[in-house]
Amino acid sequence: MVRRGCRAGVLPRLFQPGALPARFQPAHPVWSPGAMFRDTLRLAAALLLLATAAVAAFYLNRAGNPLPAAAPASVDDPGTPYVADVEGWYQITPQERAVTTRFDLGLSALPGSLPMQIGAWRGSTLPPSPDIAEWFDHPQVAIERQYVDDSGDVMWLAIFGSAGSKSYHLFEHTPQTCYPGTGWNILRQDVDRIPIGDGAIYAQRGLAVKDGQRLLVLYWYMWDNFERDAERGVLSFRLTAPILTDEAHTLQAMKAGFLSQIFTHVLDWRRF
């Protein structure tokens, strides 16, 4: 079921003129203009989820193994640890991991802490979409960039972050719930492994098709605190790439080519 309120701005509008061959430049999916008011039921649901989150945070703060302060000293460029999971709020899954990054991914540090040049990938900022502000309720962090390497592979990175009640919208509007609303058919949706050093983090992976074009999307959530406290903030990561040759090549470029330049080490940690 498509959630009400998903519009083109939170979808793969990242095809930019000149970035791809002509045959891969689809028309921008546009919905009718004008804002929709959130109804009382949605507001009540958000408040209920916040109350549930507060209770869950109380217990999470008192149970499980604490998050390590950093990677082992033997690891080059140990970085700062973050909690990553394929589900948000307090839906802790077996795929939850602690991972370090080369960059400060705190809400107060972004977007400036994430460089335009990441390894061999050259970045550029994409025009902001007004739909992002509307449906994510003016998120504290809204990064929409295109990265390209010398081989011509294209990545579209979107990072949205909020704290408090606004973070609810990060979990409400996902590629899985929103893509079908603008004509993209989700052919496959599963959880995928992303190797990082000797370990791995996990992401939701989707294969979307529209008018003969195919997209791969990986998305997951990150916190900088063990409690996954909404008041301290959460990030939604989305990496999307067009399949220009074959799916295996595109997926390899996303994982080993791009994400390995951001994440450095998966800690030997489990919550329980």
pTM to 2 decimal places = 0.76
Which of 1-10, 114-123, 237-246 is predicted least confidently? Answer: 1-10
Question: Is residue 264 a contact partner of residue 78, using CB atoms and an 8 Å limit?
Answer: yes
Map residue 160 onto helix, strand or coil.
Answer: strand
Beta strands in 92-140 (DSSP E): 97-101, 117-118, 121-125
Interval 70-110: pLDDT, tens? 555 445 556 789 999 999 877 899 999 999 999 999 999 99
Place of tokens 């061999």: 120
Q: How far is CA 68 from CA 59, 65, 198, in A?
A: 19, 9, 17
Q: How many whole angstroms from its chain centre is CA 212?
A: 25
Q: Is pLDDT above 50 for 272? A: yes
